[in-house]
Amino acid sequence: MKIATGNDLTTGDVVWWDGEGWTRHVEDAVEVGEHGPALIAREEAARRVNVPYIIDAELTDHGPRPAHIKDRIRARGPTVRPDLNRRPIDPATGSWVI
Amino acid sequence: MYRYDQYDASIVETRVEEFRDQVSRRLSGAMSEDQFKPLRLMNGLYLQLHAYMLRVAIPYGTLDSRQMRMLADVARKYDRGYAHFTTRQNLQYNWIELKDAPEILADLATVEMHAIQTSGNCIRNTTSDQFAGAAADEVTDPRPWAELLRQWSTFHPEFTYLPRKFKIAIIASDEDRAAMRLHDIGLQIVRNEAGALGFKVFVGGGMGRTPMIAPLIREFLPAEDYLSYLEACLRVYNRYGRRDNIYKARIKILVHEIGADEYRRQVEEEFLHVKTLGIDPPAAEFDRIAAFFAPPAWEEGLSDDLDLADPEFRLWVEQNVAAHKQPGYAIVTISLKPIGGIPGDASADQMDLMADLAQRHSFDELRVTHAQNIVLPHVKKADLHAIWQALSDAGLATANLDLISDIIACPGLDYCSLANARSIPLAQKIAERFASLDRQRDLGELKLKISGCINACGHHHAGHIGILGVDRKGTENYQLLLGGSGAEDASLGRITGPGFDEDGVVDAIERTVEKYRAVRTPGERFLDTYRRVGFEPFKEAIYG
């Protein structure tokens, strides 16, 4: 599947397109399919999100999992600071990222 | 320490207000990211994987307690309670919000700090010897000359858009603690046979994609020609550096392609012209700057005796305390490399403690090292035990300076948008594998350096053992290098062969150091043994 991501303009937070707006939870990301390029163009013009782009992801039982490790780390936070991660107490975070 | 005059203060305050306006226009949508990006980078504000990252300049790695406390305050107020000391002797915050950036810069300005020259294709923050002003082997304190460089290079109109970033290091000892020859320009202050002060000038070193050790361009540059000659060096680069190819844009490529002799000829020719422009400051101005770096009021007649009855204290003294030029004093290096910790990270509380110790015991001075540690440069030997106890209570007394667990590591893929692989977890695994201090001390000086990509922020080319993280079809892979050095015996590491996964590279290091133990002669460091026996025995040990 194809999903859209970027960084929030104000906070820099990693965000994902959920079909209506930008969410901080990759689990809520939706397939953008053929509408991806138009979405990116529209969002770049809106200037709410820095450098939005489309990535490949795998749809799992727990939602989309980005194909590349860089985007999985973006989704969860630094692997070396689990206390700062989006799911700080989730023991599955490590295997999900790596 | 240098203190701002009205011009310094005005420059920094004006820049803060200018950036406040730029941020406001970006947040309102009046400015696009393409328009804003070069402006934020000129103020040290990057966009990394998880958030904005602010890189704060610490000129030549020197700061005082009020500055360290302010850095801690910013970490608490605007970040997540910690900060990261870098291989450029700077500091980075990883979780900055754009709306807060102007306020942070305003706060920093109150303690004479800023984020200028920490990004972009300008002359970056100059680095220096962390033992400056305290080392017994220095010709003079290099920091007044570094400060002169700061004043000359800040907003230099001709060098704001160089072909690529430009890094200068300056030292004043034969022992190189600043990786001087791996800089675009490396300067060593020396005295000639007549006793006059001058500089050895090395140009065209660097790490990154194409590592090079800088060749000697001027054997002895008289001190009175300092800025004119550097101006000439930069002018030749600015004129002929490759702007068409980012991978060939650093001065090392220019010097390599035209040759050191031709580069020298062009610089000397340009220098004859530049010298007529009156760039070099009058002696009185240099003396004004140098006065800020006058030695502190050391007590005379102190004893060098030290009670080393406590074995743990003794280990720390032997490993992390260096000789000072003033009898009765010592130089303390605080390791930011606890076993299993994140190299270079310090919590706000730890930063406050280091500030307190500096204020009480080190004439209010701290230094940041390019190896991502902190130095208290002027400590009475009689105070060492109390300092050690305070550091121990805060988790800052790891006695591993220059040992295998004193690892330089870039932020890597955990934070950095350029990285291909994670550096920090690997550093943690290696430190844990070699956690035994007895074993580390048996291995002796062993500088291990890790970069998460070819840009080499973790100085892997200069590691006795270096590690480069690469992306191999979407998975992290690590190449091993042997034989590098950033010291006065500078050399570049050689890649051993095929890369490893994370666990595999830790095992490969184990085999490497066991080979060293098997073939070393008494007193030989790892690097000495490697140079004596050569590459092949180690390669055979690694790959079998």
For B67-82, the three-class secondary structure string (H helix, E strand, C coil) is: HHHHHHHHHHHHCCCE
CATH label of the domain that carries residue B476: 3.30.413.10
Chain A CB within 8 Å of residue B25 CB? no
Please name the residues between 248 and 287 in chain B that touch chain A, using a CB distance below 8 Å. none
Residue that finishes a domain, picked among B364, B393, B422: B393
Same domain membership, residue B161 and residue B98:
no
Same domain membership, residue B414 and residue B488:
yes
In this predicted structure, what is the pLDDT of residue B322?
A: 98
Same domain membership, residue B146 and residue B100:
no
Best A7, A13, A51 residue to mutate vs chain B (most B CBs within 10 Å): A7
pLDDT at B81 over 90: yes
Q: Range of B359's domain? A: 311-393
Q: Closest chain B residue to A80 measured between Cα atoms? A: B425
Q: Is residue B445 part of a domain?
A: yes
Count the Cβ atoms, other than its own, within 10 Å of residue B28. Answer: 9
Q: What is the mean pLDDT of chain A?
A: 92
Give the mean pLDDT of B81-99. 97
For B102-168, the three-class secondary structure string (H helix, E strand, C coil) is: HHHHHHHHCCCCECCCCCCCCECCCEECCCCCCCCCCCCCCHHHHHHHHHHHCCCHHHCCCCCCECE
Q: Which helix (H) or strand (E) holds B365?
A: strand B365-368
Q: Are residues B415 and A78, on separate chains, in Cβ contact within 8 Å?
A: yes
**Does the structure's ipTM exceed the value 0.90?**
yes
At residue B202, φ and ψ (nearest 5 deg) are -110, 135
Percentage above 70 pLDDT, chain B: 100
Question: pLDDT tens across B288-343, in order?
Answer: 999 999 999 999 999 999 999 999 999 999 999 999 999 999 999 999 999 999 99
Best A70, A72, A86, A97 residue to mutate vs chain B (most B CBs within 10 Å): A70
Same domain membership, residue B22 and residue B100:
yes
Contacts of A68 in chain B (CB under 8 A): 474
Are B516 and B535 spatial neighbours (Cβ–Cβ below 8 Å)? no
Q: Are residues A80 and B425, on separate chains, in Cβ contact within 8 Å?
A: yes
Q: Is residue B400 part of a domain?
A: no
pLDDT at A82 over 90: no
Q: What is the mean pLDDT of chain B?
A: 97
The minimum CA-CA distance between B414 and chain A, rounded to whole Å, is: 5
Nearest neighbour of B33 by CB, restricted to A13, A50, A73: A50
pLDDT at B525 over 70: yes
Give the mean pLDDT of B246-271. 98
Are B504 and B512 spatial neighbours (Cβ–Cβ below 8 Å)? no
The runs of H, that is alpha helices, within B275-423 are 283-291, 311-320, 348-361, 384-393
Question: pLDDT tens across B175-188, in order?
Answer: 999 999 999 999 99
Residue that finishes a domain, picked among B340, B360, B393: B393
Chain A CB within 8 Å of residue B97 CB? yes
Same domain membership, residue B359 and residue B253:
no
Same domain membership, residue B446 and residue B361:
no
Question: pLDDT tens across A3-15, in order?
Answer: 999 999 999 999 9
Domain count, chain B: 4
pLDDT at A88 over 70: no
Q: Is residue B84 part of a domain?
A: yes
In this predicted structure, what is the pLDDT of residue A89?
A: 62
Q: Is residue B538 part of a domain?
A: yes
CATH label of the domain that carries residue B95: 3.90.480.20
Q: Is residue B486 part of a domain?
A: yes
Q: Is residue B123 part of a domain?
A: no
Chain A CB within 8 Å of residue B78 CB? no
Residue that finishes a domain, picked among B259, B289, B319: B289
Question: pLDDT tens across B401-454, in order?
Answer: 999 999 999 999 999 999 999 999 999 999 999 999 999 999 999 999 999 999
In this predicted structure, what is the pLDDT of residue A98?
A: 85
pLDDT at B393 over 90: yes
Which residue pairs, CB below 8 angstroms and at least 24 apart, start in B462-465? B462/B179, B462/B182, B462/B207, B462/B486, B462/B490, B462/B492, B462/B493, B463/B408, B463/B493, B464/B525, B464/B526, B464/B527, B464/B530, B465/B404, B465/B493, B465/B509, B465/B512, B465/B526
pLDDT at B119 over 70: yes
Q: Are residues A79 and B425, on separate chains, in Cβ contact within 8 Å?
A: yes
Please name the residues between 14 and 53 in chain A that touch chain B, using a CB distance below 8 Å. 14, 44, 46-47, 50-51
Percentage above 90 pLDDT, chain B: 99
Strands (E), A9-81: 14-17, 22-23, 49-60, 63-66
C-alpha span between B336 and B2 (Å, rounded) = 26
pLDDT at A95 over 90: no
Q: Is residue B350 part of a domain?
A: yes
Same domain membership, residue B340 and residue B277:
no
pLDDT at A94 over 80: no
C-alpha span between B150 and A97 (Å, rounded) = 43
Q: Using only C-alpha atoms, what is the Rg of chain A? A: 13
Same domain membership, residue B412 and residue B386:
no
Give the mean pLDDT of B152-162. 95
Give the mean pLDDT of B376-392. 98
Same domain membership, residue B417 and residue B368:
no
Q: Is residue B303 part of a domain?
A: no
Strand order of the β-sheet with B321-323 is B62-64, B365-368, B374-380, B329-334, B321-323
Is residue A62 very low, low, confident or very high in pLDDT (cuts 50, 70, 90)? Answer: confident
Same domain membership, residue B280 and residue B183:
yes
